């Protein structure tokens, strides 16, 4: 008997589909309401790039002295370098008008778009830094925004 295949997926490009919101307040991180999500800011249109929005495990070595193979157990999940690269506006009517260093809130990532029944992740964060615009060659001016993850990430929640 052969193993059954997983279901065929409806493949999509993240660009143009994934949405990213800044939501200042979510009462229960594992169950955001539609009202709370709608009170946030949709950053999607101005996001040029993302970085670090991935929980990475640490491992605890558990190898016995007499063993010939190294073994380990999963430890805590960590996050490094969670950031958004946002397009800048000459007059400053951009992410700098929405986020300030020290602000607490949530980054909500809607992987298949903000559509009821699809999946989203909720990242409780504090804004670590909102940099001034930077230019690289012929690229548009962009603003790096760095975040510190302040609580347990809630991945794979159903969009209300």
Q: What CATH number corresponds to the domain at position 142?
A: 2.40.30
Q: Is residue 1 part of a domain?
A: no
Q: Is residue 98 part of a domain?
A: yes
Q: Taking a C-beta distance cutoff of 8 angstroms, is the pair 134, 148 a contact?
A: no
Query: What would the two tokens of residue 133 be?
Result: 């615009």
Please check the confidence at residue 67 and state whether its pLDDT lies above 80.
no
| Lowest mean per-residue pLDDT among 27-36, 50-59, 82-91, 125-134 | 50-59
Q: Is residue 140 part of a domain?
A: yes
In which domain, by residue range, is 122 found? 19-158
∠ Cα 54 150 77 (to 5°)? 40
Query: What would the two tokens of residue 81 be?
Result: 């370098």
Q: What is the pLDDT of residues 10-32, one digit of tens each?
A: 887 777 889 999 999 999 999 99
Q: Is residue 146 part of a domain?
A: yes
Q: What is the pLDDT of residues 68-126, one digit of tens each?
A: 888 888 888 778 789 999 999 989 899 999 999 999 999 999 999 999 999 999 999 99
State residue 10's pLDDT score.
83
Among 5, 41, 6, 7, CA closest to 23? 41
Q: Taking a C-beta distance cutoff of 8 angstroms, is the pair 145, 125 a contact?
A: no
Q: Which are the contacts of 71, defined by CB distance < 8 A and separation ≥ 6?
A: 61, 62, 63, 64
Instruction: Report how many domains make up the chain.
Output: 1
Q: Is residue 2 part of a domain?
A: no
Q: Is residue 10 part of a domain?
A: no
Task: Give the mean pLDDT of 142-151.
Answer: 95
Q: Is residue 49 part of a domain?
A: yes
Q: Is residue 9 part of a domain?
A: no
Backbone angles phi, psi at 141, to 5 degrees: -65, 135
Among 143, 108, 146, CA closest to 19? 108
What's the whole-model pTM score? Answer: 0.87
Please check the confidence at residue 134 and state whether its pLDDT lies above 80.
no
């Amino acid at each position: 008997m052969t193993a059954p295949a997983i279901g065929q997926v409806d493949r999509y490009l993240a660009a143009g589909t994934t949405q990213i919101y800044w939501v200042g307040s979510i009462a229960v991180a594992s169950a955001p309401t539609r009202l709370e999500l709608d009170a946030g800011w949709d950053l999607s249109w101005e996001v040029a790039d993302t970085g670090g929005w991935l929980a990475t495990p640490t491992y605890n070595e558990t190898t016995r002295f007499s063993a010939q193979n190294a073994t380990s157990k999963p430890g805590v999940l960590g996050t490094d370098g969670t950031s958004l690269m946002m397009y800048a506006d000459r007059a400053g009517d951009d992410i700098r008008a929405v986020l300030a260093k020290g602000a607490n809130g949530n980054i909500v990532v809607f992987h298949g778009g903000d559509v009821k029944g699809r999946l989203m992740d909720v990242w409780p964060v504090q804004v670590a830094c909102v940099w001034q615009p930077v230019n690289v060659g012929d690229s548009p001016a962009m603003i790096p925004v760095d975040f510190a993850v302040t609580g347990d990430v809630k991945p794979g929640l159903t969009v209300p």
